[in-house]
């Protein structure tokens, strides 16, 4: 079994602590997302296959802007729309740019809106909560560093 170094453990602790505040979607939630979007890209409509890796969970509000991992802060997207084309663009302008048929834009806009409004405020973290969480996590990791240092000093 591979041994975890203190720095590997520290990275794991950070991820674990962050996930307490902002858990990743469960398999059931991901299943619900695939069902809602009928296994097709929310933007371009291309059919997607769960067994391949062409379907992505695209963040509606990016984590840089305080977006969470809440399932309703994601839409199902093909790798082309998610990875190559949309990038940091907001979903409304991307959809309008991607789809030329205005009736189709309106239909997909309504479908995406119907999904993301179910986030009910959980799609975005309050900046002050994010700051408090970061303070707590930094304290834990500093205390871990101090423990590592003390234990190394005890080594014969």
Q: Please state the closest distance from residue 35 (CB atom) to Zn ion, in A.
A: 18
Tell me whether residue 95 or residue 125 sits nearer to Zn ion (CB atom): 95
SS3 22: coil
Q: Please state the closest distance from residue 5 (CB atom) to Zn ion, in A.
A: 40
Q: Please state the closest distance from residue 45 (CB atom) to Zn ion, in A.
A: 7
Tell me whether residue 71 or residue 78 sits nearer to Zn ion (CB atom): 78
Count of CB atoms within 10 A of residue 61's CB?
A: 19
Which residues of this chain interact with Zn ion, rule CB under 5 A? 41, 43-44, 78, 81
Return d(Cα 73, Cα 124) in angstroms, integer: 8
DSSP string over 113-135: HHHHGGGTTTTB--HHHHHHHHH
Tell me whether residue 44 or residue 133 sits nearer to Zn ion (CB atom): 44
């Amino acid at each position: 079994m591979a041994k975890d170094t203190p720095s590997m453990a520290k990275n794991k602790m950070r991820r674990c602590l962050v996930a307490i505040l902002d858990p990743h979607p469960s398999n059931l939630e991901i299943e619900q997302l695939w069902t809602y979007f009928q296994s097709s890209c929310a933007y371009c409509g291309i059919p997607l296959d769960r067994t391949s890796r062409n379907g992505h969970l695209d963040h509606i509000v990016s984590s840089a802007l305080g977006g969470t991992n809440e399932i309703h802060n994601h839409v199902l997207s093909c790798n082309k729309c998610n990875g190559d084309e949309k990038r940091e663009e907001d979903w409304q302008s991307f959809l309008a740019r991607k789809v030329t048929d205005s009736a189709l834009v309106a239909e997909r806009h309504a479908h995406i809106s119907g999904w993301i409004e179910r986030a009910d405020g959980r799609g975005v973290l309050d900046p002050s909560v994010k700051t408090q969480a970061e303070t707590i996590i930094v304290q834990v990791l500093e205390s871990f560093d101090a423990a590592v240092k003390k234990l190394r000093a005890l080594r014969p």
